[in-house]
Each structure stands twice: as structure tokens, then as C-alpha cells.
């Protein structure tokens, strides 16, 4: 078999300790970190995305952080192209790409590729939005579950953009979105070691999520959101503003939620996101599964060496 350079996928739910483990792993291996986070790509969204600070990023090379303005969009296809380019550049520097994050769709795209999907159709999208105004997005998600149960299982009922896109693709092609996601791109030219960081106890993860969000509030998260809210070009329909925590804080800025309601809803939404991430990870049967509370970087390094 031809030699394939190594790459590491460090995957885990939010607040599971992925970042600290990745930084410690960099002490053992010549790695450069590629962020696999759909929110950390945006500038000005630092506290709510738990973005590594500047000092850390100067000490440990990071990529795909602060590459877009919140008014811009970013897709799994763009991530695929950007990540593959960066992985190649890192490999040429005789270093190891270490991809770290919790956006499981991005990892899935790198592993399996994505198909060429039809372009957006304004007429169909408008039609779907009108239906949502009448019966609600939850009902449309239920409809999606009938025609494309696999996509519905991966899409949050409170995510109108992805529900709309899945229904749009079905109406344009007559095929479920899930059936169109396949490997038209070539296999990833790397010896990939996939590591799933799993919490030992769900209750401990829930506690960490709560404590982290409360810490974000103390660090000035609401001031960060206020700066975004004051921009005329940003609104709740944008992917950046719909990110967990930011969406709830935006409603707070609009006086639709009290401070306590916003806090409770943000924590609940984060826990729900973590649950979906864990569902993805449990399907990664050929990954190296480790317990975030017990596994240290030295032990992980030893395990990775067995794969290399």
C-alpha cells in the first residue's frame, strides 16, 4: 500500500475538554491545529465560541479561526476545500494536521465527501417559508422525517435553514438530501486517526456546560453580542447569529427574553447540541474512544503512536 501521511481527528461534544487535550498533545507531536467549528470561523465572536485566545494561537498554530465576517456564510463544502488545502500545506512542513472540534458534519464531509447539490431556488425557498408561517418549522421537520428520516435525525427541529435546504433539495431532485451525500470527492489521502472524546458521565458534561456559560457571561459575552446586535447588517436569520448561545442572547437584546430566561435557554440549547454531537460520535465505531475525564495527553499520544 502507498504511504499516506498522518492526520488526527480529535472529535467531541462541547465542553468536553477537546481544546486542552489538543494543546497538550501538541507538546508530544509536531501538530498544527485546524479548527472544526462552524462558529469559530467568525471574527468578533470570541467568548461565546470558546475561541482560544491570541496567546495560545501564537504558541500553537491554529487555522480556520477568524476567517469570516459574521455577515458571511460558510458551508461544509467550503470547509472541505479549506481543510484539505491546509492539511496539505501542514504535511509539506513535515507536521501533522490535528483537526479539533465538534462540528460533526464537517468531519463527516472530510471522511465521505459531498455531492454536487442543486443551486438554491428562490421560488421554492419562498414557498417553504410561507408554509412555515402557516404550520411552523416543527411541522415541516416532521414532514422531512417522512421523506428523509436520515437527514431529519441530524437536523434540529429548531434549525429552519437546514430544514428548508433539505426540503428544497427534495423538491428540486425528487431525492432525499441524505442520498445525495456521497463520496464523489476522492478518498482523503491521509492515514487518519480518529479520536472520539466522550464524557464519563452525562451529568458531569451538563455541569461543565452550565459552568462554562456562566463563566462566559462574566467574561463579557453579552457585551460581545451587543456589539454584533448594533450592526445593521446582522440578523437572526444568519448562521453566525443562530449559533448556540448567540441566538438566545440576540432574543435578550430584543427584549424577548429576560436575563434568567436567556441563560436557561442557552444552557438547555447547548446541552441539546452536545446530545446530538454524542449521537454522531457513537456511530464512529472505528474511532479511538477515550474518556475526557481520565485520558491525559501522554496516554493519548501513546495510543496514537500505535496507529501511526
Query: What's 140's domain CATH number?
Result: 1.10.20.140
Q: Is 17 annotated for ligand binding?
A: yes
Query: What's 100's domain CATH number?
Result: 3.40.50.300
Phi, psi (rounded to 5 degrees) for 188:
-60, 120
Looking at the structure, tell me whether residues 224 and 78 fall in a common domain: yes
The dihedral through the CA atoms of 22, 26, 28, 30 has a sign that is positive
Strands 6-11 and 191-198: parallel
| Count of structural domains, the chain | 2
Looking at the structure, tell me whether residues 100 and 188 fall in a common domain: yes
Q: Is 203 annotated for ligand binding?
A: no
- Asked if 14 and 209 count as a contact pair (C-beta separation under 8 A), the reply is yes
Q: Is 279 annotated for ligand binding?
A: no
Per-position pLDDT tens, the chain of length 308: 578 899 999 999 999 999 999 999 999 999 999 999 999 999 999 999 999 999 999 999 999 999 999 999 888 888 998 999 999 999 999 999 999 999 998 998 888 776 667 778 889 999 999 999 999 999 999 999 999 988 888 788 888 888 999 999 999 989 888 777 643 445 688 999 999 999 888 999 999 999 999 999 999 999 999 999 999 999 998 999 999 999 999 999 999 999 999 999 999 999 999 999 999 898 887 788 888 777 778 888 888 887 77
C-alpha–C-alpha distance, residues 230 and 57, integer Å: 28
- 176 in a structural domain: yes
Looking at the structure, tell me whether residues 32 and 146 fall in a common domain: no
Q: Is 77 annotated for ligand binding?
A: no
- 1 in a structural domain: no
Looking at the structure, tell me whether residues 139 and 249 fall in a common domain: no
Q: Is 15 annotated for ligand binding?
A: yes
Looking at the structure, tell me whether residues 74 and 204 fall in a common domain: yes
Q: Is 16 annotated for ligand binding?
A: yes
- Asked if 84 and 51 count as a contact pair (C-beta separation under 8 A), the reply is no
Looking at the structure, tell me whether residues 102 and 200 fall in a common domain: yes
Phi, psi (rounded to 5 degrees) for 233:
-90, 0
Looking at the structure, tell me whether residues 228 and 165 fall in a common domain: no
Q: Is 13 annotated for ligand binding?
A: yes
Nearest to 91 by CA among 2, 22, 30, 1: 30
Write the CA distances from 110 to 7, 43, 63, integer angstroms.
12, 24, 16
- 23 in a structural domain: yes
* Domain interval for residue 166: 122-180
Q: Is 258 annotated for ligand binding?
A: no
C-alpha–C-alpha distance, residues 266 and 213, integer Å: 8
Looking at the structure, tell me whether residues 226 and 284 fall in a common domain: yes
Amino acid at each position: 500500500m502507498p504511504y499516506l501521511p498522518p492526520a488526527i481527528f480529535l472529535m467531541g461534544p462541547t465542553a468536553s475538554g477537546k481544546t486542552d487535550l489538543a494543546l497538550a498533545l501538541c507538546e508530544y507531536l509536531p501538530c498544527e491545529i485546524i479548527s472544526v467549528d462552524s462558529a469559530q470561523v467568525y471574527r468578533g465572536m470570541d467568548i461565546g465560541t470558546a475561541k482560544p485566545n491570541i496567546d495560545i494561537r501564537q504558541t500553537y498554530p491554529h487555522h480556520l479561526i477568524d476567517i469570516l465576517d459574521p455577515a458571511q456564510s460558510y458551508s461544509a463544502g467550503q470547509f472541505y476545500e479549506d481543510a484539505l488545502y491546509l492539511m496539505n500545506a501542514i504535511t509539506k512542513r513535515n507536521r501533522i494536521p490535528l483537526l479539533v472540534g465538534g462540528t460533526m458534519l464537517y468531519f463527516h464531509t472530510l471522511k465521505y465527501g459531498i455531492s454536487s447539490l442543486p443551486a438554491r431556488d428562490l421560488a421554492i425557498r419562498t414557498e417553504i417559508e410561507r408554509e412555515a408561517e402557516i404550520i411552523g418549522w416543527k411541522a415541516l421537520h416532521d414532514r422531512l422525517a417522512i421523506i428523509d428520516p436520515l437527514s431529519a435525525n441530524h437536523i434540529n427541529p429548531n434549525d429552519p435553514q437546514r430544514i428548508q435546504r433539505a426540503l428544497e433539495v427534495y423538491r428540486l431532485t425528487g431525492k432525499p438530501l441524505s442520498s445525495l451525500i456521497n463520496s464523489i470527492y476522492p478518498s482523503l489521502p491521509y492515514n487518519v486517526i480518529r479520536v472520539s472524546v466522550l464524557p464519563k458521565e452525562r451529568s458531569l458534561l451538563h455541569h461543565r456546560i452550565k459552568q462554562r456559560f456562566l463563566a462566559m457571561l462574566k467574561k463579557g459575552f453579552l457585551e460581545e453580542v451587543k456589539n454584533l446586535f448594533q450592526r445593521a447588517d446582522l440578523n437572526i436569520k444568519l448562521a453566525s447569529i443562530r449559533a448556540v448561545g448567540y441566538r438566545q442572547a440576540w432574543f435578550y437584546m430584543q427584549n424577548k427574553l429576560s436575563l434568567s430566561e436567556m441563560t436557561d435557554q442557552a444552557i438547555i440549547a447547548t446541552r441539546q447540541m452536545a446530545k446530538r454531537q454524542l449521537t454522531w460520535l457513537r456511530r464512529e465505531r472505528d474511532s479511538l474512544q477515550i474518556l475526557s475525564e481520565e485520558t491525559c495527553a501522554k496516554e493519548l499520544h501513546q495510543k496514537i503512536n500505535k496507529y501511526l
